Structure 1
Amino acid sequence: MTKSLNNTLWTELEATFKHDIPATSKLLDLLQRERKALEERNYDEFQKIIGQKQQLLTILEFHANTRQQLLTAAGYTDEPSTLVAADQQAPLVAKAWRKLADEWRQCQELNEINERIAKRTRLVVGQILDLLRGSNSKNKLYTSKGDATAPSGGRAITSA
Structure 2
Amino acid sequence: MPTNLPPLDQINALTTQGIGFLTTLNELLDAEYHALQQRDVAELQTLVEQKTAVLQQLEENNQSRNQFFIAAGITPNKAGLADYQSRLNEADAHAFKHGWSELEIVLRQVNDKNKRNEIVISRNSRNLEQLMSILRGQNQKNTLYNQSGGKGNYAAQNSLGKA
In the aligned structure 2, how far is the partner of 1:35 from the partner of 1:81? 36
Give percent identity, aligned residues only.
26
1:95 CA displacement: 0.9
Are residues 151 and 76 of structure 1, via their aligned partners in 2, closer, same or farther at CA, if it must alter by over 3 Å? same
Decide which of 73, 98, 103 is 1:100's aligned counterpart.
Answer: 103
Write out aligned runs for 1:14-93 (5 A).
14-77=12-75, 78-83=77-82, 85-86=84-85, 89=88, 90=92, 91-93=94-96
1:87 CA displacement: 6.0
Mean alpha-carbon deviation: is it higher for 66-75 or for 45-54? 66-75
In the aligned structure 2, how far is the partner of 1:7 from the partner of 1:140? 59
Aligned to 1:158: none
Structure 2: tracts of 5 or more residues without a match: 157-163
CA contact (8 A) 2:32 2:44 kept: yes
Higher relative contact order (CA 8 A, sep 6+): 2
Aligned to 2:115: 112
In the aligned structure 1, how far is the partner of 2:30 from the partner of 2:83? 33
CA contact (8 A) 2:6 2:69 kept: no
Note the alpha carbon deviations across 1:85-119, whole angstroms, 9 max, x for none: 32662221221111011101110010011001000
SS in 2 for 1:48: helix
Paired AA for residue 21 in structure 1: I
Mean alpha-carbon deviation: is it higher for 10-19 or for 93-102? 10-19
Aligned to 2:124: 121
1:4 matched to 2:3? The reply is yes
CA contact (8 A) 1:87 1:94 kept: no
Paired AA for residue 40 in structure 2: N
Paired AA for residue 148 in structure 1: K
How many aligned residue pairs are there? 151
Q: What's the RMSD between the two structures over aligned residues?
A: 1.9
CA contact (8 A) 1:17 1:96 kept: yes
TM-score by length of 2: 0.83
Decide which of 143, 149, 161 is 1:140's aligned counterpart.
Answer: 143
CA contact (8 A) 1:27 1:56 kept: yes
CA contact (8 A) 2:74 2:84 kept: no
CA contact (8 A) 2:143 2:151 kept: yes
TM-score by length of 1: 0.85
In the aligned structure 2, how far is the partner of 1:20 from the partner of 1:104? 10
Mean alpha-carbon deviation: is it higher for 89-98 or for 55-64? 89-98
